[in-house]
């Protein structure tokens, strides 16, 4: 998979993309990250990338032309067999979930547009963007952090990226309920003991305990997911 990130702040991304699972994915040549500085595609001698909005109002709007120019450059680099999908992290988008991440992990090429200020000219969205994705009901300074979150959620699902693929397959949101608690050594740490069932060797009891914990955690922390789960069972 080729991942292109168009941003006015390219230096922000390198450390995260070259670390841990994302970095190993690139070293294995499963994923290739390409960071493009939006300012290189700006307008005029000052490489302008933003301007005041038509109709007035506070803040600045990122111009359409630099994004179109950047995409033209990307098309000359992209080597995938299927069409690239263009993603705009945005509080106006659909909330990111595991289903979306799984779907996006199947494409050969993804492009992320990182936006700042009050947003981007709507013509970029109308003409270029395939997915507007929100990471939650809050606003952050720019599109870099949301892009990294979305990329992380996608890359870890690509076969070969995680050594134990079952680890990703059994994450929270991979099924109908949230994940159960996990424990490791020692069995007793400062008086806090691992539940006896997990050291019993009885796999049926262990799975029953884990399922019960999934239900308790989901019901307490995400009643929306719990209600969907109960409705699904009743059908």
CATH of domain 175-234: 1.10.1270.20
Encode pLDDT of 179-201 as tens digits: 999 999 999 999 999 999 999 99
Q: Tell me the two tokens of residue 229.
A: 């789960």
The mean pLDDT value of the chain amounts to 94
CATH of domain 2-155: 3.40.1280.10
User: What is the predicted pLDDT for the residue at 174?
Assistant: 57
Q: Tell me the two tokens of residue 104.
A: 């996006």
- Domain range summary for the chain, segments of one domain joined by +: 2-155, 175-234
Quote the percentage of the chain above a pLDDT of 90: 90
CB distance 31 to 137 below 8 Å: no
Instruction: Calculate mean pLDDT across residues 93-100.
Output: 96
Q: Write down the pTM of the prediction.
A: 0.88
Is a pLDDT exceeding 60 seen at residue 118?
Answer: yes
User: What is the predicted pLDDT for the residue at 82?
Assistant: 86
Q: Return all residues near 26 (Cβ < 8 A) that are at least 6 apart.
A: 17, 18, 32, 33
Instruction: Calculate mean pLDDT across residues 213-234.
Output: 94
Instruction: Calculate mean pLDDT across residues 163-186.
Output: 76
């Amino acid at each position: 998979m080729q991942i292109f990130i168009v941003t006015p702040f390219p230096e922000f991304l390198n450390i995260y993309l070259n670390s841990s699972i994302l970095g190993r994915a690139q070293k294995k040549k499963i994923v290739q990250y390409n960071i493009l500085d939006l300012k290189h595609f700006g307008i005029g001698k000052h490489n302008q990338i933003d301007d005041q909005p038509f109709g007035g109002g506070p803040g600045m709007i990122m111009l359409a032309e630099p994004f179109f120019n950047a995409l033209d450059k990307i098309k000359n680099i992209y080597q995938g067999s299927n069409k690239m999908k263009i993603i705009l992290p945005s509080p106006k988008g659909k909330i990111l979930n595991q289903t979306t991440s799984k779907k996006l992990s199947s494409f050969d090429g993804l492009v992320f547009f990182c936006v700042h200020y009050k947003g981007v000219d709507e013509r970029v969205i109308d003409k270029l963007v395939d997915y507007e994705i929100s990471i939650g009901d809050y606003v952050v300074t720019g599109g870099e952090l949301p892009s990294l979150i979305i990329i992380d959620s996608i890359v870890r699902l690509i076969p070969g990226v995680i050594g134990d693929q079952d680890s990703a397959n059994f994450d929270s949101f991979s099924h109908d309920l949230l994940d159960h608690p996990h424990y490791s050594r020692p069995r007793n740490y400062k008086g806090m003991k691992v539940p006896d069932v997990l050291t019993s060797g009885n796999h049926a009891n262990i799975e029953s305990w884990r399922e019960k914990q999934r239900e308790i955690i989901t019901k307490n922390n995400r009643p929306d997911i719990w209600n969907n789960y109960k409705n699904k069972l009743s059908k």
